[in-house]
Amino acid sequence: MLIDFKNLNLNHLSSETEFEKKVKAFLEEWYSDEKTLSVQTSGSTGIPKIFEIEKNKMTASAEMTCNFLGLKEGNIALLCLPVEYISGKMMVVRSVVGKLKLIIIDPSTKPLQNLHDEIDFCAMTPLQVENSLDELHWIKNVIIGGAAVSESLKNKIFNTLGSKGSQRIFETYGMSETLSHIALKQIYPVSESFFTAFENVEISTDERGCLKIYAPHLNAEILQTNDLVEIKNNNQFRFLGRIDNVINSGGAKIFPEQLESLVKKEIQNEAVFLGINDESLGQKLILIIEGKESQDIINKITAIPFEKKFHKPKEIIFIEKIPRTPNGKINRIELKNTLQNNINN
């Protein structure tokens, strides 16, 4: 399905698949007289919730992305994310605002497998990119969101595209409350360490070191996150991890996202550090690896020079599949509850 937003006629828009019907329903909602529309959060860090968003603020967010990437009228975008969530909705809105041509592909873990045409812009999850490396050369601008981009995936992108490719690939920082991303970090062909916030987005930290965002054109209130960050200057920051993911083991605070980044430089499997209740330590640091048990993987992890002795996992557990939310994020809550229940039983 292809939608040309320069010459859109909703009445003539035919939809065949269930996903295409959802996209058309969203467009009907977008072009209605209502000033707001409903958005559902992913539920990766808590119970999913639905809240109302003003359409004019979604338009402002879309303009920021289109301007940053230099998208022009008539450019071709690709939608391969669910429109139930802000990530998919905003891809449609960016196409509306930029008067782009939008190709609709049913969301899957391998969205580019039948792609044989050049695309100017696409948003994908890390898992989708992981499964689409051989097709990435078709896309000029890729933004990756929904989860952190691992060092392993970055290396695979460089190995596939080479060091001097013409494509640009960015990791995003944002959430439903910020109407998708408010900052981007280029990971290809230049590999940046810090996210750069968009113009008119003010960043600061609270007493815990967690990021505060003030973007009045997107949200009237100062948004307090639970994301621990290091601020470099007025508009750049490095993400360290979520404060609610911090593991307290024997009195030491451990940031699992940093350890996961280290491990994923050495192995290709998905890896998650968790703190499981322990009588003596408070929380015991364990590492969950997705896939079949492998002594080779265990040896590689054992050989990692962790900065602190207590960063080394007390136990390594292999599981067939790590639970994820519907939009592809790792569901740490479900994973932890499952492991804790197995231990208690």
**5-45 residue pLDDT tens:** 998 888 777 778 899 999 999 999 999 999 998 887 665 55
Domains 2-242 and 246-344 share a fold: no
- Encoding tokens for residue 300? 């590689």
At 27, the amino acid letter reads L
Positions in the chain short of pLDDT 50: none
Give me the residue spans of the domains in the chain. Answer: 2-242, 246-344
pLDDT computed for residue 11 by the predictor: 77
Residue 93 has a pLDDT of 97
CATH of domain 246-344: 3.30.300.30
Question: If you classify domain 2-242 with CATH, what class do you get?
Answer: alpha beta
* pLDDT in the model for residue 201: 93
Residue 220 CA, chain-centre distance (Å), reads: 24
User: Is 336 strand, coil or helix?
Assistant: helix
Query: What local confidence, expressed as pLDDT, does residue 75 receive?
Result: 97
CB 263 within 8 A of CB 271: yes
The widest CA-to-CA distance across the chain, in whole angstroms, is: 66
The stretches of the chain forming alpha helices (DSSP H) are 18-30, 55-69, 86-98, 126-130, 151-161, 256-263, 295-302, 332-344
pLDDT in the model for residue 41: 67
**Residue pointed to by tokens 């109302």:** 52
Query: Of the candidates 97, 95, 59, which has an alpha carbon nearest to the alpha carbon of residue 76?
Result: 95
Half-sphere exposure of 240 toward its Cβ, with a 13 Å CA cutoff? 19
Residue 239 to residue 173: CA distance in whole angstroms: 9
**Do 328 and 128 form a contact (C-beta atoms < 8 A)?**
yes
CB 182 within 8 A of CB 196: no
pLDDT at site 33: 93
Whether the model clears a pTM of 0.85, i.e. scores above it, the answer is no
Phi and psi at residue 214, to the nearest 5°: -125, 110
Asked if 195 and 238 touch (Cβ cutoff 8 Å), the reply is yes
Return the pLDDT at 43: 55
What is the 3 state secondary structure string of 199-228? CCCEEEECCCCEEEEECCCCCCCCEEEEEE
Q: 102 has which bridge partners? A: 3, 77
Which pLDDT does position 327 carry in this prediction? 59
Which pLDDT value is given to residue 279? 83
